[in-house]
Amino acid sequence: MARSKSRKTLPDGTTVTPGAERSPLVSPGQLPSVDDLLAAFASRAPGLGQDALRALARDAVASARERLLAGETLAGNAVPERRLERAISAMDVSRSRPVLNATGIIVHTNLGRAPVSDEAAAAMAAAAGSAVALEIDPATNHRGGRMDEVSRLIRVLTGAESTLVVNNNASAVLLVLSALGTGQEIVLSRGESVEIGGGFRIPDVLRQSGGTLVEVGTTNRTYAKDYERAITSRTAALLKIHPSNFTMSGFVHEATLADVTEVGRGAGVPTIYDQGNGLLIDGTPYGLPPELTVGAAIAAGADIVTGSGDKLLGGPQAGLICGSSEQVARISEHPWARAVRADKTCLAGIVTTLRHYLAGEELSRVPVWRMLSAPVAGLRRRADDLRATLAVRGVDAAVGESVATPGGGSYPDVAVPSIALRLSSQAGADALARALRTGSPGVFGRVEDGRVVLDLRSVLPEDDVALGEAIVVATVAVDDTLVAVEGAP
């Protein structure tokens, strides 16, 4: 029946017969009324109340009317019933639902950056659903600082006297520069006058904070003496920025942080270091290049160090401002500190994540470090197990080497050896990749050489079963037979 072919199944399993069987609409007089639509869809939008459904129905009718008045003829997907149906479906799928990150990019900004540990997620949920003694000392019932606990933990982990947690690292940098640099000069190397991403350009941030940027050195070479020469009575601070998402090679030189803090100390000027990725431990045992941790930056003499909560620290989105009590207090008093402060949920997540480091269990608890430190042999075993499971379900997958990256602008150009499943589909890799992304849970991989590559380094082992199931479902959805492209018997 031609009619049943146009029926659509909504996410709740009910079917609707939208306006496709109508003859094309040519004038506003032919449009259904909002009440007609409400009556037709009342039982088909279980997640929507009357008012919300009415708003969507009004939109559907109004935009159809607009197009008719513009002289268009409306048929198929353009009729109001179809528009409303799409609007209802769009309300149904949350972008915040969990997905599996099989891209091999461990800290993936577009996929929400670091997943937090189970313990941190539980602490965040508990704090979110309850009152929290955030600014009251339970022992004395006196008002206590919201940052006391995090400061205590960061002090042990990094040596920094005091810490302020804000919304993210971008706001941390903006706040620090506003509190310390307004009306004065901030000295920065030309080689570090960078854009971090998403339009976050250090020179623009400085301008916004009311400070004046004094660039020193050249794009490729800057020495300690360049900073020294730039210091005047108007200098508020020396600023160093982790270049985070790019590298320079060849005839290059940057003064080290220790060199710069020495110059600053000699002149009585504080040094601010935007460390960026929030790294707390040495990553070299896991094949990562040497990198200043927040603690090493404090040890190198930085007065203020800023870093992200959701990159290599492995916590929720946050910005950490660590440093001397005097400087952190000054920053905390700036009006923007209140505007960008972290909430109880964020603090619960950060504190619980820091406690993993304190207990020395970050490699087994913090997802980012579980992923980065996973031995390749273990990834290969998981991939082989998955391949065997998939084979039983009639899906062929190949297991082979892959290259993962820490991501999140944390270690530019760093490749981490990894293992991936490779799938090919008669419907094409793009179709399979789309079916995977839109599945439940959604799976995000890469498409390379006409195959879907699912890198296991950015997937936690406890998600392997869900990954296998999602692959089976997506495969069945796009075509019945997947052919192994490599390593098949």
Ligand X SMILES: *Cc1c(COP(=O)(O)O)cnc(C)c1O
Do residues 32 and 44 make contact, with C-beta atoms less than 8 angstroms apart?
A: no
Nearer to ligand X (CB atom), residue 157 or residue 165:
165
Amino acid at 112: G
Comparing CB distances to ligand X, the nearer of 187 and 318 is: 318
**Part in contact with ligand X (CB under 6 A); list of ranges 62-70, 169-177, 368-376, 429-437:** 169-177
**Under 8 Å between Cβ of 1 and 15:** no
List 56, 107, 157, 173, residue binding ligand X (CB under 6 A): 173
Give the pairing of strands 442-444 and 99-101: parallel
Options 151, 178, 277, 327; binder of ligand X; rule CB under 6 A: 277
Interhelix angle 34-41/80-92, rounded to 10 degrees, is 50
* CA-wise closest residue to 249 among 415, 406, 412, 417: 412
Nearer to ligand X, 203 or 360 (CB): 203
Tell me the residue length of the chain.
489
Which amino acid is residue 284, in one-letter code?
T
- Of residues 16, 56, 176, 196, which one binds ligand X by CB under 6 A? 196
Closest distance of CB 19 from ligand X, Å: 45
In the complex, the smallest distance separating the C-beta of residue 8 from ligand X, rounded to whole angstroms, is 40
Residue from 116, 170, 328, 482 binding ligand X (CB under 6 A)? 170
The stretch among 82-90, 164-172, 247-255, 295-303 that binds ligand X (CB under 6 A) is 164-172
Q: Are strands 446-448 and 451-455 parallel, antiparallel or unpaired?
A: antiparallel
Binding mask 229-268 for ligand X (x = CB under 6 A): ------------xx-x------------------------
Closest CA to 309 of 334, 269, 280, 331: 280
**If you ran DSSP here, which 8-state letter would residue 25 be given?**
B
Spell out, one character per residue from 11 to 50, where the chain touches ligand X: x when CB under 6 A holds, - when not.
----------------------------------------
Residue 86: CB minimum distance to ligand X, A: 33
Query: Which tokens sit at 75?
Result: 């048929």
Whole-angstrom distance, CA of residue 484 vs CA of residue 448: 15
Among 409, 439, 442, 468, interactor with ligand X by CB under 6 A: 409
| Residue 405 interacting with ligand X (CB under 6 A) | no
**Closest alpha carbon to 44 in 87, 82, 15:** 15
Query: Exactly one of 217, 276, 439, 442 binds ligand X (CB under 6 A); which one?
Result: 276
Task: Quote the least distance from Cβ 194 to ligand X, whole Å.
Answer: 8
Q: What is the CA radius of gyration of the chain?
A: 27
Considering only residues 117, 151, 163, 169, which one is a binding residue for ligand X as defined by CB under 6 A?
169
Give the strand pairing for 271-276 and 304-308: parallel
CA 270, CA 326: separation in Å to the nearest integer?
A: 11
The reply to whether 291 sits near ligand X by the rule CB under 6 A is: no
Give the residue, chosen from 228, 259, 262, 274, that forms a contact with ligand X under the rule CB under 6 A: 274
Strand partners, 240: 273
Kindly list the distances between the CA atom of residue 33 and the CA atoms of 26, 28, 29, 77, 464, in Å, as whole numbers in the listed order.
15, 10, 10, 18, 49
Query: Nearest residue to ligand X, using CB?
Result: 276
**CB-wise, 217 or 276, nearer to ligand X?**
276
**Does 442 contact ligand X by CB under 6 A?**
no
Q: How far is the CB of 323 from ligand X (least distance, A)?
A: 16
Instruction: Specify whether the CB–CB gap between 375 and 213 falls below 8 A.
Output: no
Name the segment binding ligand X (CB under 6 A); options: 85-93, 168-176, 248-256, 474-482: 168-176
Q: DSSP string spanning 416-462?
A: EEEEEEEE-BTT-HHHHHHHHHTSSSEEE-EEETTEEEEESTTS-GG
Q: Binding of ligand X at residue 331 (CB under 6 A)?
A: no
Residues making contact with ligand X (CB under 6 A):
168-170, 173, 196, 200, 241-242, 244, 274, 276-277, 308, 319, 409
